[in-house]
Amino acid sequence: MFTPMTSVLLIDDDTELTKLLQEYLEEEQFHLDAAHDGVVGLQKALANQYAVVVLDVMLPGMSGLDVLKQLRQKSSVPVLMLTARGSELDRILGLELGADDYLPKPFNPRELVARLRAILRRTTGGGISASGKPLHLADVELHPDSRSVTCGGKSVTLTGAEFDLLYTFLRSPGKIISREDLTQAALGRPMSPMDRSIDVHVSNLRRKLGTYDGNHERIKAIRGSGYVYLLPGEQL
Amino acid sequence: MPRGLFLKIFLWFWLAAAGIIGYLNLALWISIAADPNPERNHGAFGEALNLYAESAVQVYDREGTQAFAQYVSRSMTEAGSEISLFDGSGKPLTPQSSSDATSVADQVRSTQQHVSQVTALGRITWGREVEGPSGKNYIFVTRLRQPYQPRRLTAIQVTTAILVGGLIAYLLALYLTSPVKKLRSTVQAFAQGNLDVRVSPALGKRRDELTDLGRDFDHMAERISILIDSQKRLLADISHELRSPLARLSVALELARKNSPPGAAPPLNRIEQEAERLNELVGQLLALTRLESGAERVPAEIVLLEDLVQQIIDDANFEAKPLNKEVKIIQLDKCRVNGSAELLRSAIENVVRNAIRYTAGRTTVEVGLYWKLETAELTVRDHGPGVPEAELEHIFEPFYRVSEARDRASGGAGLGLSIADRTVKLHGGTIQAKNVDGGLLVIIRLPLAPSQTGSSGSQDHAIFSPAPLASG
């Protein structure tokens, strides 16, 4: 029955909340380390090995988005963002800056645990087998073992979610994949109502890969159905 | 392309300049042509003509035609005058007398006076009777060369003058309208939410009413941006302060749940539900305040309404299915509007969710998006109890509660439609609710983005869409 504790860093200025969460997550086999401002949080995140960083966007001093920006320059540790509800901009910016998922605050702690587990499943090899064969499609090459991607010979830096998304696309190019399935595959959790994060991840992936020669889209949204990764030269 | 005020000032000033030039030219010409210059009959000039006439008649009278021709030839060639001589009875004594000369001679004969007649373009024909040394009477008539050519401006001069007038008008128009243009672009940027723009730097050292206006604008902009900044800060603080206890509450609740006997589950569930409701309400209240305070700005991005509606419907079905309800698209035209996709999403979402809430079990909420020449029309129709006619206009007011069937028990916080209303108005549109046969129909109209109005890009749309849900 013994499972080792997973260490999580929570960067949130609400000390009372972090205490409560520490207590709660302890029972869920997470060891929670807390930082109460951005600067300390960034230092801790860079200095220690955490399985996941939970980052509140609303922080005094250095904002959560700035922390994320600086963190991403040096580390690819999975980040779960806590955003104020209704603040779509923070959420989109956060995902664009490389956060893996977000949770609107206030949240149900059960949901937090579910999100943390989803991220961990993906990043610790639970999602995509670490020994898969490299996938090729036109100028894109994806190596599951090293979790690296090249496009036109150049290396492309993708976040975990974006990588899993591309992996899902490349396994069935030219086929329409529903947003629900993409959410499950890339974020490791079911899609929730009014959840747009998969669209942000897709648009990030689009931006990072660029278009096919001749300005043709790689990934096309199919209204009412989902997304399709187009084969080169294919027009819908 | 300069247009509007610039073109008006430019064209009107140019037209005025050209008109003045044309008029002056014409007036000059007319006045010269019409000027009989009476002075020419008197004074030194008249005296000189008299002397000349007398001496010429003397030469003729004494020495005959030959000598006369010689005498006058000099003045004829050098001064360009034509000289004719008639005898007392008006018979010409010199060859080739012009008709002017003949008629003047006739007048002299009949009036016995000096005659001076102005003919074409100021040319004067002058005549008098002269008695020769022999006592014979002669009539001497001279047709003087034009005293001076009435100086009509040439076409090139007039054209040049008009062009110069045009250039000056152009510069004037530019001078007058360029600050207006700068003011306008600044105001536009401000309206689009860039609260830091100011006019003064763009106007430089110029000082007139327009720069005063610019300074007044800057002053106003300063005040507005301070107000909106503090409003935003306040909203963020409220949001944070109200939500932090809620966040702690839900964690504490889960902790309590873990350590409590099974019998405590129902009240704990209730606490969770109420906390969630409170949270939603805080979110809606903040959204509404943001919309009403002007802190929310509408970016000028193009929103593909049909995609947005499709996404919302997909999500809404996700929510509706567990309730045995369905959301169906009955028409989805391509509509491009300017605005914020996020704000419009939440507005439409609120209306659709409201419809799902009130539509009866096992019924369908019907959503249509219609392209109408200048507007995008979104209709959301439920099959629910509707709203009493008298209360229809109030349902977009915050916290308005319809007296009858629709009440809190159905879960509405009463702000969703207000948010939709404010958002649609912020985008320059209208929202309207009416009862249709067995349900409520909400119609949202949004102005189409300029590129899509009129006939452009509409080939694949029925311009006259059938009236939505007319048959019920």
- Residue B470: pLDDT band (50, 70, 90) is very low
Q: Across residues B312-329, what is the average pLDDT?
A: 87
pLDDT at B36: 54
Residue A224 is nearest to which of B246, B283, B310, comparing CB atoms?
Answer: B310
* A195 contact residues in B (CB cutoff 8 A): 315
How far is residue B448's CA from residue B383's CA, in Å, rounded to a whole number? Answer: 29
**Residue carrying the six token digits 């300069």:** B2
pLDDT at B421: 92
Q: Is-contact B406 B385, C-beta < 8 A?
A: yes
- Indicate if B240 belongs to the active site: yes
Q: What are the pLDDT digits (tens) for B23-51? A: 888 887 777 666 555 444 456 777 787 88
Tell whether the model's pLDDT for residue B381 goes beyond 90: yes
Is the confidence metric ipTM above 0.95 for this complex?
no
Q: Is-contact A70 A42, C-beta < 8 A?
A: yes
Instruction: Provide the whole-model pTM.
Output: 0.56
User: What count of Cα atoms within 13 Å lies in the side-chain half-sphere of residue B103?
Assistant: 9
Q: Is-contact B427 B339, C-beta < 8 A?
A: yes
Nearest CA in chain A to B353: A194
Tell whether the model's pLDDT for residue B171 goes beyond 60: yes
Give the contacts of B124 (CB within 8 A, at least 6 positions apart). B37, B40, B116, B117, B118, B143, B144, B147
Q: What are the pLDDT digits (tens) for B230-255? A: 887 887 778 778 888 988 998 999 99
pLDDT at B412: 54
Contact between chains at B247 and A106 (C-beta distance less than 8 A) = yes
* A16 contact residues in B (CB cutoff 8 A): 248
How far is residue B40's CA from residue B266's CA, in Å, rounded to a whole number? Answer: 125
Tell whether the model's pLDDT for residue B101 goes beyond 70: yes
Q: What are the pLDDT digits (tens) for B186-228? A: 888 888 778 888 888 888 788 888 888 888 999 999 998 888 8
Give the helix/strand (H/E) hosting A47.
Answer: helix A38-47
Residue B314 is nearest to which of A23, A88, A224, comparing CB atoms?
Answer: A224
Q: What are the pLDDT digits (tens) for A203-217? A: 888 888 888 877 778
pLDDT at B32: 64
Q: Is-contact B251 A109, C-beta < 8 A?
A: yes
Query: CB contacts < 8 Å between A and B, how many?
Result: 70
Tell whether the model's pLDDT for residue B433 goes beyond 70: yes
Nearest CA in chain A to B255: A24
Give the contacts of A36 (CB within 8 A, at least 6 positions apart). A11, A12, A13, A15, A18
Out of B34-43, B112-121, B270-279, B447-456, which region has the weakest mean confidence (pLDDT)? B34-43
pLDDT at B1: 46
Q: Is-contact A11 A59, C-beta < 8 A?
A: yes
Q: Is-contact A99 A79, C-beta < 8 A?
A: yes
Q: How far is CA A230 from CA A134, A165, A219, B153, in A?
A: 19, 14, 6, 75
Tell whether the model's pLDDT for residue B403 goes beyond 90: no
Residue A109 is nearest to which of B251, B307, B310, comparing CB atoms?
Answer: B251
Give pLDDT < 70 ranges for chain A. Answer: 1-3, 85-88, 124-131, 193-194, 234-236
Out of A50-64, B163-177, B327-341, B452-466, which region has the weakest mean confidence (pLDDT)? B452-466
Out of A83-87, B285-289, B389-393, which region has the weakest mean confidence (pLDDT)? A83-87
| Closest C-alpha to B109, from B124, B130, B123, B95 | B130
The residue that leads in pLDDT, B145 or A12, is A12
Q: Across residues B327-332, what is the average pLDDT?
A: 92
pLDDT at B38: 47
Q: Across residues B308-320, what is the average pLDDT?
A: 86
Numbered residues of chain B with Cβ closer than 8 Å to any chain A Cβ = 236, 239-240, 243-244, 246-252, 254-255, 258, 272, 275, 279, 283, 286-287, 306-307, 310-311, 313-315, 318-319, 342, 349
